[in-house]
Amino acid sequence: MSDTIKPPWAISLWNNSDHIFAELPAINGQTSHVVRVTNDEKGLRKILVLAKARDITSQLGNKGDPTQWQINKPQYDPALVKKVREKVQYTAEQRIATRTILRELGLI
């Protein structure tokens, strides 16, 4: 396929001062729809994830053809999801010292 021909799954983008809009055309008989992201760095990251994942096999509700609800979720872009911290293991002495300080402050 030539790079000069627009493929059927190509998205169209436009923006205003607040949002970037992406028109996701219909693929394989599905309906086309428009999603919107904020006009900032996070929104651009989401659009890039969408563009990289979009191809001829994209289906509604998947990463390449998300719904607005999925776009609004922070989990849409793996780079935006915070990593789970490891649980800190405290020693018995540290817990006793902490309780002593809290008792002195009258918090427990």
Phi, psi of 37 (to 5 degrees): -130, 165
Going by pLDDT thresholds of 50, 70 and 90, the confidence category of residue 97 is very high
Residue, of 15 and 68, whose pLDDT is higher: 15
Query: How much is the average pLDDT of 80-108?
Result: 85
71, 64, 72: which is closest to 30 by C-alpha?
64
Each residue's pLDDT tens digit, 20-58: 999 988 877 777 889 899 999 888 888 888 888 887 777
Give me the sheet containing 12-15, strands edge to edge.
Answer: 12-15, 19-24, 33-38
pTM: 0.58
Q: For the chain, what are the domain ranges?
A: 12-83
Q: Residue 3 has what pLDDT?
A: 67
Own/partner contacts of 11-14, CB < 8 Å, gap of 24 or more, are: 11/50, 11/51, 11/54, 13/47
Q: Residue 91 has what pLDDT?
A: 92
Going by pLDDT thresholds of 50, 70 and 90, the confidence category of residue 101 is very high
Q: Residue 93 has what pLDDT?
A: 95
